[in-house]
Amino acid sequence: MPFKLPDTAKPFTLCVSEEEYSQLRELLRLSRIGPKTWENQHQDGRYGIPHQWLTSTKDYWLNKFDWRRQEARINSLPNYKISIQDDGGKGDIDLHFIGMFSQRDDAIPIVLLHGWPGSFLEFIPVLELLHKKYDSSSLPYHVIVPSLPGYMLSSGPSQAEEWNSKDAARLINKAVTSLGFIRYAVQGGDVGSLIAATLAATYDSVAAIHLNLLPSLDRVTVDDPSLSATDKSAIKRAEERFLTPTTGAALLQSTRPATIGAMVSSSPMALLSWIGEKFLEWPDDPIDIDEILTNVSLYWFTDTMPRCTYTYRGTFINDHQYSFPFFKQPFGFSWFLRELVPTPKELAKQKGNLVFYQQHEKGGHFAALERPVEFLQDIEDFLFVTWPKNN
């Protein structure tokens, strides 16, 4: 029987009011950028956001960026909201998601989970590829791309309760099963990989898991004899360029989430500085400025930053967050070599029932956004070899 979306999932259209849009532009106009310093003159970002990039991006954001065009692009895809009652007693969530649903009886449900400082927007290029490749009668998948609780267009955690990634996973699982999917595959990167791993470790409804970042504190070093020359080069580059500064930012959000949330939600330029530097440093090739500003703008319009820091709170200081049982489900991994955390095949094999592994010479932390063609191909190849007919 073809899939029918339940009545509890309501179509949603994004529409930022003219008042909110004008307020953002006025705040941008009034925002000052601090003086040039020795540190912010380094264009490689070794000490943080370059002054020149911040200045030119502010000008583009204020005078050339077309928010309404980006809003229309988001609305060109089928957006929904669904109200989920939390079985854990921590408050209900109004969950946003993009859903592309098939009319095929054998379509595979798959949930794509974003991370920070990204959002559901990371997957739009992948969804657009799917839209071009298939129509609803031929689409082999039911694709669900939620905004994680507290992110973007989903409501946030209760102010009265401590909230963590396990709570987010519980709500995501209930949302997906409420749509009618008893079994589904899950994919995640960054924070999304942590939530995907939690789902796989906790719920029998997860039939397969694919990641492009490994939620583990285990690391490999260049002297490991099992590594190829390509592996060693990627690990050395990550150690020198990414791991120390990236860990510094994560530690700050881990230990002072309230402070970071207050700072960057007080000014759009502060938000651009904090998020923008990650979009500069973490990808392989540069990401289009419109993609960056769409993400930052929607973070601003939705007050995401103060609401989403629970996904980093305690990271790296509570190692148990990264302790997962061996994935018993079919497990797939894609290593884009400019990813912050190197994951050679031997390391991935230690974490689960690895049935699919692909290494890509190009691509970094925002794999779906940077390399949507390769990302989608990996997902399709993974599902082809792992999805049992009896699911």
User: What is the chain's mean pLDDT, rounded?
Assistant: 91
Provide the percentage of residues in the chain whose pLDDT is more than 90: 72
What DSSP letter does each residue of 265-302 carry, written as one string? TS-HHHHHHHHHHHHHHSSSSPPPHHHHHHHHHHHHHT
Q: Residue 389 pLDDT more than 60? A: no
Q: Residue 121 pLDDT more than 70? A: yes
Q: One-letter amino acid identity for 317?
A: I
CA distance 365 to 382: 20
Interior angle at CA 134, CA 179 and CA 289, nearest 5: 85
DSSP conformational letter for 158: P
State the pLDDT at residue 282: 93
The 10s digit of each residue's pLDDT in 247-306 is 677 788 888 888 999 999 999 999 999 999 999 999 999 999 999 999 999 999 999 999
Provide the percentage of residues in the chain whose pLDDT is more than 70: 92
| SS3 call for 359 | strand
> What is the band of 156 on the pLDDT scale with cuts at 50, 70, 90?
confident
- Spacing of C-alpha 213 from chain mean position: 11
Q: One-letter amino acid identity for 15?
A: C
Q: Are 95 and 178 in contact (CB under 8 A)?
A: no
> What is the band of 88 on the pLDDT scale with cuts at 50, 70, 90?
confident
DSSP conformational letter for 331: E
CA distance 5 to 178: 10
The 10s digit of each residue's pLDDT in 295-347 is 999 999 999 999 988 888 866 555 555 567 789 999 999 999 989 888 899 88
Which sequence positions are flagged as catalytic? 190, 312, 365
CA distance 389 to 391: 6
Buried b (16+ CB within 10 A) or exposed e, 47-79: ebbbbebbeebbeebbeebebeebbeebeebeb
State the pLDDT at residue 118: 95
Q: Name all domains of the chain by residue range, CATH numbers in brackets.
A: 9-14+69-386 (3.40.50.1820)
Look up residue 225 and give its two tokens. Answer: 């004899």
